[in-house]
Amino acid sequence: MLERLWQLTELQFRPDEQHHHETLFTIGNGYLGTRGAFEEGYPGETPATLVHGIYNHAPDTLVPELVNAPNWLVLKIWVDGTPFGIVQSTENHMRPPQGVIFGYERTLDMRRALLRREALFRAQSGAIVRVQFERFASLADVHVMAQRVRVTAVEGNPTIEVESVIDADVSNQGVRHWRSDATTIADGDTTGVEVTTAQSNYVLGMASRLLCDGAVESIDDERRPASRTRFSLSREQTATLTKLTTVYTSRDVPNSPLEAARAKLDEATELGWDLLFSAHEAEWAEYWDTADIQISGDDEVQRALRFTTYHYLIAAPRFDERVSIGAKTLSGLGYKGHVFWDTELFIVPPLVLSQPQLARNLLMYRYHNLPGARNKARANGYEGAMYPWESTDTGEETTPQWSDPGADGTRIRIWTGDNEQHISTDIAYAVWLYWRWTGDDEFLRRYGAEIILDTAVFWGSRVEKAGDRYEISQQIGPDEYHENVDNSVFVNRMVVWHLETALWLVDYLHQHAPDDARRLVDTLDLTPDRLTHWRDVADKMYIPFDEERQIHVQFPGFFDLEYVPVPDYTPRTTSLHAILGHHRIAQTQVIKQADVVMLMALLGDELGPREVLLNNWHTYYPRTDHGSSLSPAVHAWVAAWLGLTDVAYEMLYHAVHIDLHDNKGNVGQGIHAAACGGVWQAVVFGFCGLQIENGELKTQPNLPKHWTEVSFRVYYQGQLREFTVRNPEAVPLSQ
């Protein structure tokens, strides 16, 4: 059953996994994402539909957040008057007072981005029906969502009522973002709502139609318009109902999103389920054609890797270059839909290689948000562009300054918005990586160069001269357990990379695009003095290094902190941050996540000789908590690249299951997007060792023993290239 390795299946619904699985079973199309809540609802559920770019800042909250859109899923079904639902036990199997289900199955078909669910349900009357739901958010037309429900009478001749609702009475866990004055339509089989965010004034229009054989009447419930139909089934008869929903926002159309949604609804109705689905399926086939990595010899990792790939694909904006992917994709409310470095360093690289257009969209988001970054630089007394640590629609810094209060009421000051400044370099790095792989000169000249150069301008103004060297104080590197440190080796070394790249880029533009070079020199004020200064900084930046141990030092003083033997703290699903406490952990050598190891991932052999890199690994790996979901994949990547295949596989196995296993219990808040992109890089850059060498691609594989073969396709300089990497040491199962 090869198909099985494309499917995520739930054979039993467990209420205590409800939120976790709502996240896993999210569908989406890069325009919106909808969590896998049930059509008929379930106690305690947390349904959410998140549309890219629709943020709002509610009163009494610290920062804006991505707004939960009206719930388009709702389809309520009554069987002889008993409401259909996942009722899993009863004292009376023959006449269950609340109804009861005799079987249940939910499958996410990742190949087709189709969510299916079915259940066998007995009503209080004794009648039994099979109910099958399907849903997808069209990738072929991102404004269209389709649902299909089939009700089959298995026993009895039940009367069925179906109510289709758009529920605009929604909030973000109690925080209300939509004004109360919604416009609603309830017109027979057609319903609609138009709602407006209270602070940001985004308008969202959603229209829906219930297609079925019988008569449909509407119910004009304020904020919950509904269509309702009623019919009888004789035994073995099946009724098929289709619900089509369309959505537009004021980001898409100049006037009345609801009108646009209605027009699109007519168009979608014309096509009907089959044509809509086949177009959707064809688009997904094209996505997977380059996105899928095939691993022979490890079914579990194969399936999990498809799952992680699916999730960044459904979150990647397809036709919109003014939005980006939040840390939790569109699958949950965690981190409020804010965009972090996760996107550029974890998700952009796989997209650069497999779907360059999507990567370009994400980078354009940063281009369009240069004004916000320039504002932040100015506000902090610097030049150039200083990107926000957390970014939304405006491009302004939206990191909250304080955590939510803990159990004892105390709040913790969050410094990342102030001092986690490496984000600007991370973005520059992603631009450079995109250009290096795609050769998209047009993008570089028109947009990318401005990002790389204006963030370089920022760093030129940010660094501090200290004697005959340069330093950078008060930084947060990737290891957020150590805040506001001076001379983070990650930051300092990446700034060197950044300024050197900027200098090279100025030369490159002068040679290949003199007009653009002149324009940028002009607008960004790239004077000869500034360039000389960059050269000087790059040459004289302080790179903390321990000559005796031959290792990079995460920051000066790091090794004076208390040593905590992290491997002793196993098995562990709780972070050491929680175990040791916020204040103590900063006084220890416990590292939250790949920091020097991240530097190795980004710079590879440029960072230093192999012995130093191995020393770094053996120093930092046993000090790392993996308190961030970003960490295991980077460790897998670097370890595989260094030839430490066993530990690399252990890290990969952990990373690829972060969401599926939900070891930390927080997947209910959304998919760990960075881990999804990270495992792709671990496999392709780490285990397969794909790299550019002298303008050509080569692989240098270090595959786990039990992987016999890995195949993947990547774009390089506009050409699609196919790789099959075989493991000379593969051990067949039968030995």
Catalytic residues: 480
CA separation (Å) from 732 to 293, 296, 640, 720, 723? 20, 11, 21, 31, 21
Instruction: Give the Cα separation of 608 and 496 in Å (integer).
Output: 14
Closer residue to a copy of itself, CB minimum distance, 80 or 440 = 80
Cα of first residue to Cα of last residue in the chain, in angstroms, is 23
Gap between the Cα atoms of 440 and 461, Å rounded: 29
The span from the CA of 596 to the CA of 589, in Å, is 13
Name the one residue in this structure whose structure tokens are 């325009």: 31
User: Would you count residue 573 as binding a copy of itself (CB under 8 A)?
Assistant: yes
Q: 21 with 667: CB under 8 angstroms?
A: no
Minimal distance in Å, beta carbon 597 to a copy of itself?
A: 22
| C-alpha–C-alpha distance, residues 55 and 591, integer Å | 33
For the chain, the farthest-separated pair of C-alpha atoms sits apart, in whole angstroms, at: 89
DSSP annotation of 117 reads E
Distance CA 402, CA 363 (A): 29
Please identify, among the stretches 116-124, 139-147, 424-432, 472-480, the one whose residues bind a copy of itself according to the rule CB under 8 A: 116-124
Considering the complex, what minimum distance in angstroms separates the CB of residue 84 from a copy of itself?
Answer: 14
Is residue 458 involved in binding a copy of itself (CB under 8 A)? no
If one asks whether residue 133 binds a copy of itself (CB under 8 A), the answer comes out as no
Residues 574-593 that bind a copy of itself (CB under 8 A): 574, 578-579, 581
For residue 89, count CB atoms less than 10 angstroms from its CB and return exposed for 0-12, middle for 13-18, buried for 19 or more.
exposed
The Cα 396–Cα 389 span in angstroms is 9
| CB closer to a copy of itself, 167 vs 292 | 292
List the one residue from 43, 44, 59, 94 that touches a copy of itself (CB under 8 A). 94
Q: Which of residues 149-208 bind a copy of itself (CB under 8 A)?
A: 152, 154
Nearer to a copy of itself, 77 or 521 (CB): 77
By beta-carbon proximity to a copy of itself, the closer residue of 458 and 481 is 481
Secondary structure class of 661 (helix, strand, coil): helix
- Kindly tell me which residue out of 62, 87, 120, 614 binds a copy of itself, with binding defined by CB under 8 A: 120
Tell me the window of 171-179, 257-265, 299-307, 678-686 that interacts with a copy of itself (CB under 8 A): 299-307
CA-CA distance, 177 to 69, in Å (whole number)? 9
What span, in angstroms and rounded, lies between the C-alpha atoms of 342 and 167?
32
Our finding on whether 404 is near a copy of itself (CB under 8 A) is no
Closest CA to 25 of 1, 45, 54: 45
CA separation for the pair 709, 704 (Å, rounded) = 10
Q: Give the nearest distance from C-beta 330 to a copy of itself in angstroms.
A: 27
Q: Is 649 in the site for a copy of itself (CB under 8 A)?
A: yes
By CB under 8 A, tell whether 50 contacts a copy of itself. Answer: no
Residue pair 42/145 in contact by the 8 Å Cβ criterion: no
Stretch that binds a copy of itself, among 203-211, 375-383, 562-570, 591-599 (CB under 8 A): 562-570
Using CB under 8 A as the binding criterion, the count of chain residues that bind a copy of itself stands at 58
Question: In whole angstroms, what is the distance from residue 674 CA to residue 338 CA?
Answer: 13
Both tokens assigned to 658: 């972060």
Question: Interface with a copy of itself by CB under 8 A: which range of 60-68, 114-122, 262-270, 427-435?
Answer: 114-122
According to CB under 8 A, which one of 110, 128, 333, 703 is a site residue for a copy of itself? 128
Applying CB under 8 A, among 10, 45, 105, 546 the residue interacting with a copy of itself is 105
Where do the H-state alpha helices sit in 464-609? 489-512, 514-523, 528-540, 576-580, 582-585, 596-603
Residue 147 CB, shortest distance to a copy of itself, in Å, is: 19
Ranges of H-type helices in 221-355: 257-291, 299-315, 341-342, 348-354
Of the candidate residues 230, 519, 540, 572, the single one contacting a copy of itself (CB under 8 A): 572
For residue 233 the two structure tokens come to 């089934």
Nearer to a copy of itself, 289 or 299 (CB): 299
Q: Is 10 in the site for a copy of itself (CB under 8 A)?
A: no
706 binding a copy of itself? (CB under 8 A): yes
Residues that bind a copy of itself (CB under 8 A): 1-2, 4-5, 11-12, 14, 16, 91-94, 102-105, 118-120, 122, 128, 130, 152, 154, 236, 294-296, 298-300, 302, 407, 565, 568-574, 578-579, 581, 649, 653, 661, 663, 704-706, 709, 711, 724, 731-734
